[in-house]
Amino acid sequence: MKDIIITNGENVSSIEVEQCLYRHEAVLECAVIGIPHPKRGEVAKAFVTLKEGANVSADELIHFCRSQIAAFKCPTAVEFCSLPKTSTGKIQKYLLRAKE
- Domain encompassing residue 55: 4-99
pTM: 0.94
> What pLDDT is stored for residue 74 in this prediction?
98
Q: Please give the share of the chain, as a percent, with pLDDT higher than 70.
A: 98
What's the total number of domains in the chain?
1
In angstroms, rounded to a whole number, what is the distance separating the alpha carbons of residues 67 and 14?
17
pLDDT at 14 over 90: yes
CA distances from 61 to 24, 39, 86, 98 (A): 8, 23, 26, 24
Strand partners, 79: 47
> What pLDDT is stored for residue 55 in this prediction?
96
Q: Report the SS3 class of residue 60.
A: helix
Q: List the CATH number of the domain containing 38.
A: 3.30.300.30
CA dihedral of residues 60, 25, 28, 53 (deg, nearest 10): -80
